[in-house]
Each structure stands twice: as C-alpha cells, then as structure tokens.
C-alpha cells in the first residue's frame, strides 16, 4: 500500500511538471498570420489633379475703342477663319477716313503748287533774275509739301486700318467657348486689348495640365500612359499620355509642383475645357510576376519566439536584425533600404509551426504588393505577414487603375 501511494505521488508530481512546462511552451508558441504568394501584375503610379483645356485657345480682342453694334457669333458656335464675330460702330471711323482723304487731297494740291513754283524759280535763277537764297527757299517749300503729302497718305492708311479693325473676325477655325460682350457695350482699348471672345481650335484633341509634386516629378517621363476621371462622368475612365514636363516650378506656400501636360483624345466631345481631372500616371509595370503582400517584407517576428535560418544550421531569435536586408531596426516599416539592396528575407512556417527565413530578390512595389524573384517560391505558397495581436498597416490603400481587378494589386 505504501508503495502504491509513493508511485501515485511520483506520477502526480510528474504530471504537474508536464502540464507546467507544456503551458510555458504554448505561451512561447506564436500564432502567425499568413498570405499566399500570388501571380499577377504590379503597377507603380503617381496621382495628381489637373485641369482640362484645349490644345490651342485664342483670345480675340479689339485694337480700337468703340461701341458694339452687332454680334455674329455666340457661345458654342463653330466658326471659320476670317468669319465675322462682331462689329463696332463705324460712324466715327468713317468720318475720320473722309477727313484723312480730304487732308491728302489738300496735301497733293499743295505739293503740286510748290513744284511749279520751284520750277519757275529755277528758271529765273538761271536767268540771274532771282538770288540763290530765293531759289533755295522755293526748293525747301517744295520738299516740305512733298513730306506733308506723305504724312497725309500715312494718316489715311491708319484710319482705314482702324475702320477695318471695327470688324472683329475669327483668327482660326474653332468653337466659341466664351463671349464677353453684348450689343451696345462700349469697348475701351488701352495698353491691353480687351478680350471679346475666346475660341478653342479643336476640342476633339485636348490636354490636361496636371500639377505634380516635386517628390514625384523625377518619375515622370514623356510617353507614359495616363488614366484619369472627371466628376461629370465618375464611372468612366479616359486615356492619355504624358506629352511634356515643364521646367518652370509653381511655388505655393513653400510647396513646389511642376506642370505636366497630358494629351487626350476627345472624339465624342464629352470632355469640356475647365473640367477637373483626377490623374493617375503609370510609372512602371510588371506583368505576370510572383508577388507577396508588402507586409511580408516588413514582418519581423516578436521577441521570445524561436525560429531558424533558411540554411537550417542554427536557431535564431526572431528579433534578428536581418542585416542582409540592410534594416537595423526590426520594427521599422520603411522598405527603402530593401529597395536599394534589392534583397530581403521572407518568413515561412515550417513543421511544428516554427518560422524560417528565406532570402529573396525583390522587384518593384506598388505599396501593397511587391514583386519577388526566387526559386524557393511558387504561386500558392504561404508567407508570414504578421502575428496575432500585432498592428497591421497594410489596409486602407488606394485602388490602382492599371491593375486588373481579378488579380489583386491594390494600392
């Protein structure tokens, strides 16, 4: 009986030790969150806003002052080059032309008379009947009369030109998008000609002038593909491509941006000048590549959980500094160093739920998914992206319009 009690006591103590250390072991075991390696497209984009405008827009003004007596074009009218748009009251201008014509005729008559007097004085001088000074005075009067004739002729041309300016014509073929005058309105031409009409040459070809932040402008290149939307058609996307990156900076409250011109086709005339465009520029793209959630590259196992390196030679604490990835801070989420080195580590689950690190090459990243280049992985493999209880920051991203909807690839 005594032996039975002793044996029972020993078994009880052993059971307590077993349960105690088993509980400790479970506490040390971490529960990991995994995601599958996918195959699909990755796109890097730059977003901005801009304004739609016609490629060529001409402001038609008046070079003379006057009163609008007639209008021959209105909003949205298509006009041809040379077509009359408006007419200024020509009454005063016609009177000026008549006055200038009379002044010219008077100057011509005066010049003819001065010429005859000069010819007569020249004959008398040759006969020694007048002095040389009288002959020179006659010549001077003749030259002055000819100059006055030229001045009168020039004045007549000037007032005739002003009369022509009273008829406002279109300088290009296009559509009237703005009319700023009405019949009876007085136009005052000063140092700057007043704008009467604004004409867009061809609305089937338009452009977006987008403001790109200085941090992103280095990624923009001519010919890059662009997708944009406008508030008037929120469910429809429009296509374009980068045409020009302007060098002049725009500085507003110490924020520097650069204007990027995007050429757009508008065959159905849906787009209108002045519309706000929400622009997405495709900077880089990889198609049909292996990709993992970006959180997998930022994952570092927490303190106290044991794992192993990919070579299987040694156990390492999962507070490993991942020196090969160039990241000295295991909790750091910035992957800029990884992008520079193009090499990092992913963590996978081995048997018994232990994590193991695998070295991979990384390609481009859209902020949500990152391309990986490795013989260790294939589509459908699982990688660790986090631990239960850890805070995740991989959600709440913007949709990338260049990524197929069925392939993931959200930004």
- Indicate whether 250 and 295 sit together in one domain: no
Task: Indicate the helix (H) or strand (E) that contains 165.
Answer: helix 132-165
User: Do 378 and 298 share a structural domain?
Assistant: yes
User: Is the same domain home to 170 and 253?
Assistant: no
Q: 250-265: per-residue pLDDT in tens?
A: 999 999 999 999 999 9
- Summarised one tens digit per residue, pLDDT across range 206-238 is 999 999 999 999 999 999 999 999 999 999 999
Query: Per-residue pLDDT for 176 more than 60?
Result: yes
Contacts of range 323-330, beta carbons closer than 8 Å, 24 or more positions apart: 324/359, 330/300
Please tell me the pTM assigned to this model.
Answer: 0.66
Q: Is residue 18 part of a domain?
A: no
Three-class SS state of 352: helix
- State whether residue 88 is helix, strand or coil: strand
Query: Checking DSSP bridges between strand 225-230 and strand 315-317, what pairing results, if any?
Result: unpaired
Q: What is the pLDDT of residues 56-85, one digit of tens each?
A: 999 999 999 999 999 999 999 999 999 999
Structural domain tally of the chain?
4
State the CATH number of the domain containing residue 112: 1.10.287.470
Report the SS3 class of residue 326. Answer: coil
Q: What is the CA radius of gyration of the chain?
A: 43
Element holding 101 (H helix, E strand): helix 91-126
Judging by DSSP bridges, how do beta strands 255-265 and 276-293 pair with one another?
unpaired
Residue 11 lies in a domain: no
* CATH number for position 73: 2.40.50.100
**Shared-domain flag, residues 125 and 157:** yes
362 and 250 inside one domain: no
- Mean model confidence pLDDT for the chain: 82
Residues in the chain: 411
């Amino acid at each position: 009986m005594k032996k039975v009690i002793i044996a029972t006591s020993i078994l009880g103590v052993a059971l307590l030790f077993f349960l105690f250390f088993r509980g400790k072991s479970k506490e040390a075991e971490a529960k990991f969150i995994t995601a599958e390696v996918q195959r699909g497209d990755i796109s890097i984009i730059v977003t901005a806003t801009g304004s739609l405008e016609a490629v060529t827009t001409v402001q038609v003004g008046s070079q003379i002052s006057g009163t609008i007596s007639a209008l021959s074009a209105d909003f949205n009218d298509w006009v041809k080059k040379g077509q009359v748009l408006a007419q200024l009251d020509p009454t005063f201008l016609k009177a000026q032309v008549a006055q200038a014509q009379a002044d010219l005729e008077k100057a011509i008559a005066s010049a003819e008379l001065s010429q005859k007097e000069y010819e007569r004085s020249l004959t008398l001088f040759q006969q020694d009947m007048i002095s040389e000074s009288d002959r020179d005075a006659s010549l001077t009067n003749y030259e002055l009369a000819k100059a006055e004739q030229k001045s009168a002729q020039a004045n007549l041309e000037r007032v005739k030109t002003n009369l022509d300016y009273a008829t406002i014509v279109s300088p290009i073929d296009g559509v009237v998008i703005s009319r700023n005058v009405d019949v009876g309105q007085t136009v005052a031409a000063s140092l700057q000609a007043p704008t009467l009409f604004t004409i867009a040459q061809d609305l089937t070809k338009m452009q977006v002038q987008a403001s790109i932040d200085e941090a992103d402008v280095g990624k923009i290149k001519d010919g890059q593909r662009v997708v944009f939307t406008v508030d008037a058609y929120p469910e429809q996307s429009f296509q374009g491509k980068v045409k020009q990156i302007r060098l002049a900076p725009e500085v507003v409250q110490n924020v520097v941006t650069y204007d990027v011109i995007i050429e757009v086709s508008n065959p159905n005339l849906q787009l209108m000048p002045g519309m706000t465009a929400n622009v997405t520029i495709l900077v880089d793209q990889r198609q049909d590549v292996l990709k993992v959630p970006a959180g997998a590259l930022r994952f570092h196992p927490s303190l106290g959980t044991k794992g192993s390196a990919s070579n299987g030679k040694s156990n390492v604490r999962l507070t490993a500094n991942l020196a090969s990835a160039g990241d000295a801070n295991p909790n750091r989420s910035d992957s800029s160093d990884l992008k520079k080195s193009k090499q990092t580590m992913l963590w996978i689950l081995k048997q018994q739920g232990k994590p193991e690190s695998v070295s991979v090459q990384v390609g481009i990243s859209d902020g949500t998914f990152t391309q990986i280049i490795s013989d260790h992985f294939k589509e459908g493999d699982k990688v660790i992206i986090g631990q239960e209880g850890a805070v995740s920051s991989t959600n709440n991203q913007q949709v990338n319009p260049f990524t197929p909807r069925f392939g993931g690839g959200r930004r």
